[in-house]
Structure 1
């Protein structure tokens, strides 16, 4: 997904630092689609009773009930479309409300300095007291040149 994110024009415009799209949208959609394909009739029976309409596409072909399998796949795609629509709607509303209180983007001048510096913090501080590796007692920043040569 990270390769596709760098190659697809639309995805290049999305700032997805935490890979939320890859983790939730792609994985969730794939899970929904595969559920529609592999939905076992014996498990569907637990939720829907003896209703023959609920069957995975793979089992539907095996049982000669392709129409029911395609119906299930249609329901899976409709569910994905509903989730996308509700997420876009709710996220847009939240961002519009937040924008009334604080700006959602840094100015161009602040972007040149960097958001970490603007907020006075380092991203991905790995030590318990919030310092980065280079400035910690574990990094090379506090070791004398003689000691660093000795370690190498």
Structure 2
């Protein structure tokens, strides 16, 4: 997903530092769609009993219950859309609430300098175990006088 995130125009517009969209959004939607496609009636009996409505599209085609298979795919799509809508509403409410207390976005001057420089460290330093800013690939003159013990 990190490779796709850099190549697909829509994904480039998503500011997702922690890869929540990739980890939960894409994986959850894909899992939901695949369940609607591949749900075996032998396994759905564990949850729904002998109700013939609950079957994946592939097994619905195989068993001659195409309508039930498409019904299940529809339920999965509706479920995904519900979760997306719920997340948009709740996240918007949370961000509006936080914005009433503090700014959600850095000032333009801070954005030019960069988030790493403002905080004095690389938060997601994949090359080390939380290396401090002056030892990172970015470097910064203002932190030369700070000893390693003080940074830890």
- TM bucket normalised to smaller: 0.7 to 0.9
Q: Is 2:48 the partner of 1:43?
A: no
Q: Is 2:91 the partner of 1:91?
A: yes
Question: Which 4+ stretches in 1 moved above 4 angstroms?
Answer: none
2:100 counterpart SS class: helix
The equivalent of 1:100 in structure 2 is 100
Residue pair 2:117, 2:133 contacting (<8 A) in 1 also: no
The equivalent of 1:72 in structure 2 is 72
Aligned-residue Cα RMSD (Å) equals 2.1
Q: Flag structure 1 segments of 5+ consecutive residues without an equivalent.
A: 137-152
The equivalent of 2:4 in structure 1 is 4
Q: Deviations over 1:16-56 (max 9, x none)?
A: 22222122111111100101111111111111111110011
Residue pair 1:124, 1:132 contacting (<8 A) in 2 also: no
Q: Flag structure 2 segments of 5+ consecutive residues without an equivalent.
A: 137-152
Residue pair 2:57, 2:69 contacting (<8 A) in 1 also: yes
1:54 counterpart SS class: coil
Q: Is 2:13 the partner of 1:13?
A: yes
